[in-house]
Structure 1
Amino acid sequence: MPEQISKYPDVTLQVLKGAGAKCGEGAEQKILKQCPAERFCSLPTGEICVYGIDGIANMTQISPREIATAIAPLVPPEPADPPAAVWVEAIILGIVFFAGIVLGRFLRKRRSVSP
């Protein structure tokens, strides 16, 4: 019988109750014996255990690793470090900047010394 993951497990349980399921009422758990009683639903056709996002680690049919593997292609990769050329450009720009400061001070002293 299935274990289900829902962002809103309480709403899912209410929908199942509305469809005639016995949820959280102490119904006999024949297959999903490790399901928390408050998350368990029994229907004439089977059993369902509804987990919230925070209960994924407690699931017995699907492991967190399987879930991570399934969603890994959907998660954008971390931004890569800038290429070495960017660092070289930054260093050259810094050298030119400081050379401009030194040249500016030199020219200012020269102007103030001339008659």
Structure 2
Amino acid sequence: MPEQLTRHPDVTLQVLRSAGARCGEGVPQEILKSCPRERFCKLPGGELCVYGLDNAITMTQITAADWRALAQQTAPPPGSGMPPLTMAGVGTAGLLAGVLLTALVVRRRRGPR
């Protein structure tokens, strides 16, 4: 089950709730047992844990080696004049992933048209 990283975890949780996810309600955590209860969501298709930048270090699916590799991949070449990718960019990508996931959940619940 996925862990999601976003700059705006509360907004992401609100969007997931609006699509019918049960978030922060103390529902049983069958797979994502280390997810903080207030950041845990249960959906018909599985579980989701929404992390903010402040607690990204506690994520279990992304390791320190993953973060280092990401930093190396996103660093611009020396002297290129390009600014490095910031955590804001990573957070935005996480938020977009959350919104896309929510749209898929809503579409799935409504069924085919």
Do both share a fold (TM > 0.5)?
A: yes
CA distance in 1 between counterparts of 2:25 and 2:49 reads 13
What are structure 2's unaligned runs of at least 5 residues?
A: 80-113
Q: Which runs of 4+ in 1 moved over 4 A?
A: none
In structure 1, what is the Cα distance between the partners aligned to 2:11 and 2:40?
13
Q: Cα RMSD between the aligned structures? A: 1.5
Return the alpha-carbon distance in structure 2 between the equivalents of residues 9 and 29 of structure 1: 19
AA at the equivalent of 2:55: G
How much does 1:78 deviate? 5.7
1:53 aligns with 53
Q: Which secondary structure state, in structure 2, belongs to the residue aligned with residue 42 of structure 1?
A: strand
Task: Tell me the secondary structure at the aligned position of residue 27 of structure 1.
Answer: coil
The aligned length equals 79
Runs of 5+ unmatched residues, structure 1: 80-115
> Identity rate of aligned residues, in percent?
56
Tell me the TM-score normalised to structure 2 length: 0.64
| Structure having greater relative contact order (Cα 8 Å, sep ≥ 6) | 2
- Aligned positions of 1:59-70 closer than 5 A: 59-70=59-70
Who wins on radius of gyration, i.e. which is larger?
1
